[in-house]
């Protein structure tokens, strides 16, 4: 990363790289961006040396992982927009799928240094902007459909999603999953246009979230 152009990797090297990325996603999401590099290497089943040859330092690894994640979410956002029958449905799908963003959000929120590494990467920034733009469109469209309440802004939705990324304490991973799903449905119901109480303040935009 940062610079790894032309040279094709040897087959085993390629495999190791993928394992490292997978392990990094897991571990970052689970323990945050400050986990020892050795932990990542261990889970990937490789030595630390291998890790460092592929990614010059922790920051590079973070960037690589964030890129892949944001990319996946952006792809899905576009797919959802194209495939789902209504904007509301697409929005729901996006929010649900966004759990894959969990990682990136954790990275962004937990560690200032990780966040800095990300915001300075133009490619990541571009992906993020793309996601936000898609979200913006979906919110507007869903409101035009009359399903999404009018007094929320894309920023509100983004914030709500980021809340859902929190790991709730539960006695097992399965119930944690269930709880998260139920929470999502509750929130979706809260986002419906129905009666509801008026929200305080003005709709929150993406820009309100800070860059």
Tell me which residues touch DNA (CB under 7 A): 7, 9-13, 16, 34, 36-38, 45-50, 52-54, 56-58
**How is the chain classified by DSSP, letter by letter?**
--S--SPPPPHHHHHHHHHHHHHHHHHHHHH-TT--HHHHHHHHTS-HHHHHHHSSSHHHHHHHHHHHHHHHHHHHHHHHHHHSSSHHHHHHHHHHHGGGGHHHHHHHHH-HHHHHHHHT-HHHHHHHHHHHHHHHHHHHHHHHHT-B-TT--HHHHHHHHHHHTS----SSHHHHHHHHHHHHHHHHHHHBSSS-PPPSSSPPPTGGG--
Site for its own copies in 82-111 (CB under 8 A): 108-109
Closest approach, Cβ 54 to DNA, in A, equals 7
Interaction of residue 189 with its own copies, rule CB under 8 A: yes
| Binding-site partner at residue 119 among DNA, its own copies, none, CB < 5 to 8 Å by type | none
| Binding-site partner at residue 13 among DNA, its own copies, none, CB < 5 to 8 Å by type | DNA
Question: Looking at 16-24, 54-62, 127-135, 193-201, which segment touches its own copies (CB under 8 A)?
Answer: 193-201
Interaction of residue 181 with its own copies, rule CB under 8 A: yes
Closest approach, Cβ 107 to its own copies, in A, equals 12
């Amino acid at each position: 990363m940062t610079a790894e152009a032309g040279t094709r990797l040897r087959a085993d090297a390629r495999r190791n790289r993928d394992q490292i990325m997978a392990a990094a996603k897991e571990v970052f999401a689970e323990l945050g961006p400050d986990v020892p590099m050795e932990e990542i290497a261990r889970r990937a089943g490789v030595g630390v040396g291998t890790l460092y040859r592929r990614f010059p330092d922790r920051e590079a690894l973070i960037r690589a992982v964030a890129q892949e994640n944001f990319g996946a979410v952006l792809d899905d956002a576009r797919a959802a927009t194209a495939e789902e029958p209504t904007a509301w449905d697409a929005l729901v799908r996006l929010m649900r799928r966004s759990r894959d963003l969990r990682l990136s959000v954790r990275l962004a929120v937990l560690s200032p240094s990780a966040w800095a590494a990300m915001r300075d990467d133009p490619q990541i920034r571009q992906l993020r902007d793309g996601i936000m733009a898609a979200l913006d469109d979906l919110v507007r469209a869903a409101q035009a459909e009359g399903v999404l309440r009018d007094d929320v802004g894309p920023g509100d939705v983004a914030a709500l999603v980021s809340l859902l990324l929190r790991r709730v304490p539960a006695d097992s991973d399965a119930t944690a999953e269930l709880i998260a799903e139920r929470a999502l449905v509750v929130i979706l119901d809260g986002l419906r246009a129905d009666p509801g109480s008026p929200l305080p303040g003005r709709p929150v935009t993406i820009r309100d979230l800070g860059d």
